[in-house]
Amino acid sequence: MTEHPPSLATPYRTHTCGQLRAGDIGAEVRLSGWVHRRRDHGQLIFLDLRDRHGITQVVVDGTDSPAAHDVASRVRSEFVVSVSGTVTARLAGTENARLSTGAIELQTTALEILNEARTPPFYINDPDAPVDESLRLKYRYLDIRREPMQQRLLLRSRLVQAIRQAHHENGFVEIETPTLIKSTPEGARDFIVPSRLQPGSVYALPQSPQQLKQILMVGGVDRYFQIARCYRDEDLRGDRQPEFTQLDLEMSFVDEATVMDFVERMAIEVSQAVTPERPLLEVPFPRFTYGEVMERFGSDKPDLRFGMELVDLAPEIPTPDGVPASGFRVFDDALAGGGRVKAIVAPGLGDAPRSRIDELTETAKRFGARGLAHLALEATGSVKGPIVKFLGDDLAERLCARAGAGPGDLVLIVADGTEVTNEVLGRLRTDLGARLGLADPNVLAYCWVHRFPMYKWDVEGGRWDATHNPFSGVVPEDEALLTTVSGDPSRPSPEDPAGRARALQYDLALNGWELGGGSIRIWRRDLLELSFALQGYSLERMRNMFGAMLEAFEYGAPPHGGIALGIDRWAALLTNQATIREVMAFPKTQSGTDLMLEAPSPPDAGQYADLGLRVVPVEERKA
């Protein structure tokens, strides 16, 4: 995977450790790097010399070069050395096909130790050696010397390069927005930076460049992008970090399809440039409405690499006189109450033991279900399970057939309100998909989800909350729905038609992860004021929060929209990693600590004084 520029020669080397081939035999060269491995055979000492580009075998012969041999006998793993010598063919039978330089070796004439090294706390030369993650983070520079981290950081660099190229080819301007700004909320807490020159005031680090990129559209930039660092102070999970990197972009005079089409073409180009060996499941990317994706997959970021879709069982359940009568109370009550009875099929789990079913039921309960019913289809085709006695054989068989189960499969059924049913089955689907290894790890399955609800009712606040950002536009056909039962937008209620309005918002998902999302923004002032009022904000209040942007909107804002995609997530998915820490050079731990730098740490006393700050001890704060 080394792409070798024509020359990386420096005063310390004529070639890199990954460069020499049979064609170089006879050449006098100089290499520098780390000692990957040392094998002492008395008169002959072998050094595997390593740099980022590869490994070259170095032979030090005590008879020919006693001085070099003397140095080689003092060399240890991870010493930094420089070797001069002649490129020679390896003896027949000792070539190493796994090394790009495996046809040759270097006969040493001179060897110099450039720097010694302490014994590393873990093996650098064994990529598979299990190493505790906190040790890797504390000695990240040693971890980065190891092959797997090198490969991932290289891939990430190529990813960003491909992204930049695709944007430049499509008329985008790369602009850096500042990171000492005013609060730009994206649903998390701000990190704040106290100002020394204006004691008592703070900057906020951007949760995203959202306001600034919209202002750039008012500035006539037309198409902006940035590889942007964002900061969100929230509790960390596996795929979160307090600071992370987004591909952030915004476009003017566009509609939803223009943005989605560009992003899709860019994502295809980038994927093919970075991981040409990984097939794309479906092109063009499937586009689901939020309603459809929840109904079919129970998730707004479905993993499409396997089926196991949610199936509605209700059509098989008889309803004499309009009353559901499956014979099983839980199903009938759910349907009578306007809820759902839906199922997924776990392939090959038909003969799962009781303990496995109990475990699945526990998982479903953790996901919010009251219970989990099941029907097992035996190899003979007969249906078994505790609820068969209520349903009767005939209905039980028809439910299995409707679910799409075959002999040996297990049908898992949830009966509850629509939201709970979809959510629980969706999470079970994800869980089982991973456990049963149903997804092909090589495939890249991108899909779009759009037409999200514009608002979600906030019970406590008694108002409509924007599901994405407060500036997301409304689907044109739904504009008329932005009304309230009371007739006054500042007196909203959960029955308002506004609750049915759909946003011009789109998310891009990849292999079950949300890669990112964006929207066409509200750029018309009347709509903006109406939407703010529904969200319980006066224009005054919004002005306090988003003053600069709202003022800019008064000077001619073009129709515009954009998106942001997580670069860390993208790189993690392209390298099949379970956490974004694996594709970040210097990530933080779950508690937000940099174990290598030992950050955060208390400031110097003087720094507090400069800022006019004083720390209140936790006990005092509680009091």
Instruction: List residues near ligand ASP by CB under 6 A.
Output: 186, 208, 210, 469, 517-519, 562-564
CA distance 314 to 339: 10
The pair of structure tokens assigned to 322 is: 């309009």
Of residues 209 and 433, the one with the C-beta less far from ligand ASP: 209
Of residues 84 and 211, the one with the C-beta less far from ligand ASP: 211
Q: Is 594 helix (H, G, I), strand (E, B) or coil?
A: strand
Residue 79: how many other CB atoms lie within 10 Å = 18
Q: Sort strands 287-289 and 446-450 into parallel, antiparallel or unpaired.
A: parallel
400's enclosing H/E stretch is helix 393-403
Residues 6 or more apart whose CB falls under 8 angstroms from that of 275 comprise: 155, 444, 574
What is the phi/psi pair of residue 472, to 5°? -65, 140
Of residues 174 and 419, the one with the C-beta less far from ligand ASP: 174
Rg of the chain, C-alpha, whole Å = 31
Q: Are 565 and 518 in contact (CB under 8 A)?
A: no
For the CB of residue 506, give the shortest distance to ligand ASP in the complex, in Å: 9
For the CB of residue 561, give the shortest distance to ligand ASP in the complex, in Å: 8
Q: Is 108 helix (H, G, I), strand (E, B) or coil?
A: strand
| Encoded amino acid at 196, one letter | R
Of residues 512 and 517, the one with the C-beta less far from ligand ASP: 517
For the CB of residue 223, give the shortest distance to ligand ASP in the complex, in Å: 13
Of residues 259 and 405, the one with the C-beta less far from ligand ASP: 259
For the CB of residue 208, give the shortest distance to ligand ASP in the complex, in Å: 3
Of residues 464 and 471, the one with the C-beta less far from ligand ASP: 471
CA distance 333 to 290: 27
The pair of structure tokens assigned to 488 is: 């006054």
For the CB of residue 259, give the shortest distance to ligand ASP in the complex, in Å: 9
Residue 169 per-residue DSSP state:
T
Residue 415: how many other CB atoms lie within 10 Å = 28
Of residues 217 and 308, the one with the C-beta less far from ligand ASP: 217
| C-alpha closest to that of 105 among 156, 48, 52, 51 | 48
For the CB of residue 229, give the shortest distance to ligand ASP in the complex, in Å: 12
For the CB of residue 528, give the shortest distance to ligand ASP in the complex, in Å: 15
From the number of C-beta atoms within 10 Å of its C-beta (0-12, 13-18, 19+), residue 256 rates as buried
CA distance 148 to 346: 34
Of residues 71 and 563, the one with the C-beta less far from ligand ASP: 563
For the CB of residue 523, give the shortest distance to ligand ASP in the complex, in Å: 14
Exposure class string for 104-123: b at 16+ Cβ within 10 A, else e: bbbbbbebebeeebeeeeee
Of residues 241 and 519, the one with the C-beta less far from ligand ASP: 519
Of residues 85 and 516, the one with the C-beta less far from ligand ASP: 516
Q: Are 585 and 155 in contact (CB under 8 A)?
A: no
For the CB of residue 562, give the shortest distance to ligand ASP in the complex, in Å: 4
**Tokens 């491995």 -> residue:** 37
Of residues 334 and 542, the one with the C-beta less far from ligand ASP: 542
The CA–CA distances, whole Å, from 156 to 108, 140, 289, 571 equal 36, 17, 31, 6
The CA–CA distances, whole Å, from 566 to 44, 63, 445, 583 equal 51, 58, 16, 12
For the CB of residue 517, give the shortest distance to ligand ASP in the complex, in Å: 6
Of residues 489 and 516, the one with the C-beta less far from ligand ASP: 516
Of residues 29 and 230, the one with the C-beta less far from ligand ASP: 230
Q: Sort strands 340-346 and 410-416 into parallel, antiparallel or unpaired.
A: antiparallel
Q: Are 581 and 596 in contact (CB under 8 A)?
A: no
Q: Are 178 and 231 in contact (CB under 8 A)?
A: no
For the CB of residue 521, give the shortest distance to ligand ASP in the complex, in Å: 8
For the CB of residue 563, give the shortest distance to ligand ASP in the complex, in Å: 5
For the CB of residue 203, give the shortest distance to ligand ASP in the complex, in Å: 19
Of residues 565 and 583, the one with the C-beta less far from ligand ASP: 565
For the CB of residue 230, give the shortest distance to ligand ASP in the complex, in Å: 7
Q: Is 361 helix (H, G, I), strand (E, B) or coil?
A: helix
- Secondary structure, 3-state, 476-521: HHHHHHCCCCCCCCCCCCCCCHHHHCEECEEEEEECCEEEEEEEEE
CA distance 298 to 293: 7
